[in-house]
Structure 1
Amino acid sequence: MTGDKRTVKKYVWKRRRRVYNDHRHNAAIIIEHSNVCPFRWKRGAFACSHCPRTFGHFDDVYNHTQEHPDRLDAMHYARPYDTVKVEVTDLKCAICYAKMNDLIHLKDHLLNIHQQPIAKDLDIGVTPFILRNKEMLCAHCSKRFSLFSKLNSHMNEHYPNNICFHCGKSFTAAHRLKAHQLTHESNEQAHKCTKCDEVFETRVLRNYHINTKHAPANRYRCPYCNLSFKRYSDRSRHLKEFHNQNVEYPCHLCPAVFALSDQRTKHIRNVHIKHKQFQCDCCPSKFVTAGQLKSHMIKHTDLREFQCSVCKKSYARSRTLKEHMRIHNNDRRFVCEYCNNAFIQKCSLKSHLKTHHPNAEVSKISIE
């Protein structure tokens, strides 16, 4: 009977080795031969790696995972472009029960002591976290966090080389970056919406369309209560007001901190990478974003589609027309804090400060 079990297990393992010809090969070995607890982070909640169940706290996931006897079932949700998240408190080898310092120590131990088929040319396939007993620590530097989303974002600081030079996003593993970079490939026919007939130039645009036009209502769930929200910003506001939790996204290249991950991505792209991929067809100028290029192209055209309804002057930009309309409305919003004189345009106030208040700080401009 024992021999039959070993034969079945060997067959299953050989089948899995043929399937997982990427980082999941090593992840499966780590999960099967250690006491790590695999889990997923899905829509603001901890999720079981064996089944679809989600929980508000990691300890609940840990206790629930013990109900799944086959540890390799955790690979069911493993994806080729993502590492497997694992909890590593009191890390041990499941074969000899030796204590391990970290996952690298465990990997070498399984390879050299127990001759497990660890692939040296592949990533380790798992990302470590310390979460048990209501802890929330970085397994690399022991930094403590109040929210898992912050800890998850912090992990990028330990992998600074995996940055996409197209958009500035960073990833905790090289294979995740490689998979992400495929989303920037232009193949119009390959990026058709799965919900409707619209077709997009890139996978990024298609996914944005699906997430905004076809996303289910209230997709963002609060990890502390049963409420869910349609927009990420609404959940962030809820966390701050009712749970005293500020969701922040720090830049791992400088001290800047942002309220939204998209803001951090734009910051990395514009400030640190400065990869100008958008080329003007009329001059040598290049720009970081498509919006900057579009704004620049106005200089090469005589198109002035924004006309003033009062004096019939036309402008190339709606912003310029709005500024012009303040003249007709006598909108003197720029006020001098030294003498209370008010001006329609900011430049007029700056000129006034330089002439009449030369010692004033020009940067301090109030708007009434």
Structure 2
Amino acid sequence: MSNAIHNAKIIVRYTTAYPFKLPVRGMVCVYCSDAYDDPALFRKHMSEHHANVKINIAFAHVFYGYIKIDCTDLKCRVCSATLCNLDGAVEHLVDQHNHNIDLSCDLGVQPFILPGEKWNCAICECKFISLRALSAHTMAHFAKHKCDSCEKSYFYLNRLERHKQVAHIGEHRICLRCKTTFESLDAKKDHVHESPLCWEYICTLCGERFPTMALRDSHKIQVHGMKTKEFVCSECPKVFTNRRVYKRHFTIAHTNEYFACECGKKFSSQFDLKEHIVVHTKEKSFICTVCSKPFARKNNMVQHMSVHSNQLKFECVDCSKRFKQRSSWRTHMKSYHPDVPLKSHDN
């Protein structure tokens, strides 16, 4: 057993640092697999049902690396003393109870402080839109495997290798579901568009697959009668019905992670900033290989290329008419089927 895991087991055994897993259902209890979206309910569950710590079960999923712990309300299990933070807890266990914690190595834990609806990093105080986003950020504090080609870091070496395969193999791209390799990103997109078995998003109620999260959520609302989900900003009173719009708002309005243009406009991603900058530069660096028409943005050029193709990729599901370009399809939908939400068919 590594010294880091040894340290983590002492912390979990002798304090109310509650270990949890984070698969896809919120905070999952390491003992009974109950899941909680509310951290306060998770801590209540741990306090009432798992006061007796079972270390072997708690660490069964930790083969190497760090265990996630909720250390919002830290107390010593030996003497019931209130502990101000993780460092204070370690100092208390060493000085007051003579526990053998190896301070020359990592503590073996990823700390989370989760007082309510806000998701702030326990290490650097950065703000995040969700617990999952916070977890990914927290992992980066402990990640030991950094990509040589970009700034991304991974805790697990196999995750880094997978990232390199997909992101840094020249122009080639791999479909993660069927493992087919394509010579360009556009070729991969065409493959995914035409291959429902490779669509990423699955309806948990009926098993149908969708190419985008928006289409899956729209399906759940229209077919299964689910209510439109609202995203309430944890930092201000604004409410959103679109997760992507909410994420963009949160990044720009409540964090320092945005990308700013010299004109003062802010963007949630570097890609969006680059798309905006051409407004100032008037640059048209994307050239159609057939007719040499220049475009400021790559996606506009790609859409234009369909003019030179006989493929009718966009189909109206109401009248079966097909179109070369998305813009033509959207115009058709608005003119002849105005009552049909575009997002319900826009793949």
Q: TM-score, normalised by structure 1?
A: 0.46
**Greater Cα radius of gyration, structure 1 or 2:** 1
